[in-house]
Amino acid sequence: MSSFSARTHRFSLVAHLLLLALLTINLHIADGQIGVCYGMMGNNLPPANEVINLYKSNNIQRMRLYDPNQAALEALRYSNIELILGVPNSDLQSLATNADNARQWVQRNVLNFWPSVKIKYVAVGNEVSPVNGGTSWMAQYVLPAVQNIYQAIRAQNLHDQIKVSTSIDMTLIGNSYPPSQGSFRGDVRSYLDPIIGYLLYASAPLLVNVYPYFSYSGNPRDISLPYALFTSPNVVVRDGQYQYQNLFDAMLDSVHAAIDNTGIGYVEVVVSESGWPSEGGAGTSYDNARIYLDNLIRHVKGGTPRRPWKATETYLFAMFDENQKSPELEKHFGLFSPNKQKKYPFGFGGERINDVVAATDFNSTIPLKSDI
């Protein structure tokens, strides 16, 4: 082979390798595609078919539904939108105590729509806690309901495509600082450890609702606003080999560590809700919500310090302002107004906007630690 031919061959090989690397990077970024939670607690919201069209026109490729709303499921057919399909807490007891009920639920809400609706996860219950007075009586039903739904899906040989899990909130974390010492509360371990064991067996992720807003608003003395909004110019928390410049990563890695520290095994985490209200409470404003959401959308294309190799699948809360929620701030998490107008100027593929606010625009101090 001539030297010219050899150089041409090497150049072609390098070009192919670079193309492969770029494709791999693009696939990796696609893993971090943002979803949006479609809540319906409003008396002025558009019909489901218009909402699904709004998702498509804004390139929102993932959705979370909190219950199997039939109009929404019909409208989702052939939309190519991936779905977290929720089982309401009110159904847990029925599905846990009667496997036939679970099979009928799966037939009615999963099989009747699959595969024209791309159901990715079934979330069995939301924020059930054995130590929360409002949901504590339901805790005994979560794992049996998860298992019955899983078995009904497995009987159709769909368990590799549709993963069954449950969604928890951060109140189940007992220690979160530093993140590497994250652990679940001692009084929820008997509830949560068997669920984690099931998730490991089923190769399913744990769904977690992660809200830096509530951590910041509950402790503004120790948690700075820039740290919560992804605008801190410097590392805030140094945790051994891990360094944290934002609260979201620290909270999420405390969950990763809590799972690891059970010793049960490696279970992935999907952020099933995260958002910032635009009014109604301490630390709420249009600008704070805009900055948090815009930065979150771009940030989750990468991983966390503890899981740097994997984009963070994240669902923004919520699609609309919902006027039937309470307290007041719960009405103001929407990315869109009920008239379908966008509240914020950014897109949902991580486009950068020109007016990102720097941390120096806030009169806040960087804490030495964060009690998250």
Catalytic residues: 127, 273
Q: Burial level of 236, CB count in 10 A (0-12/13-18/19+)?
A: buried
According to DSSP, the residues that pair with 209 across neighbouring strands are: 169, 273
Q: Is 207 left (phi over 0), alpha (psi -120 to 50) or beta?
A: beta
Residues in the chain: 372
Write out the DSSP string of 70-129.
Answer: HHHHHHHTTS--EEEEEEPGGGHHHHHH-HHHHHHHHIIIIITTTTTSEEEEEEEEES--
Amino acid making up residue 82: E
Tokens (6 digits) for 102: 């679970």
Of 198, 165, 193, 188, the C-alpha closest to 260 is 193
Side-chain half-sphere CA neighbours of 180 within 13 A: 10
Six-digit token string for 352 = 């950068």
Local structure of residue 224 (DSSP, 8 states): -
Closest CA to 152 of 59, 87, 56, 69: 87
Q: What are the DSSP calls for 293-309, one per residue?
A: HHHHHHHTTS--SSSTT
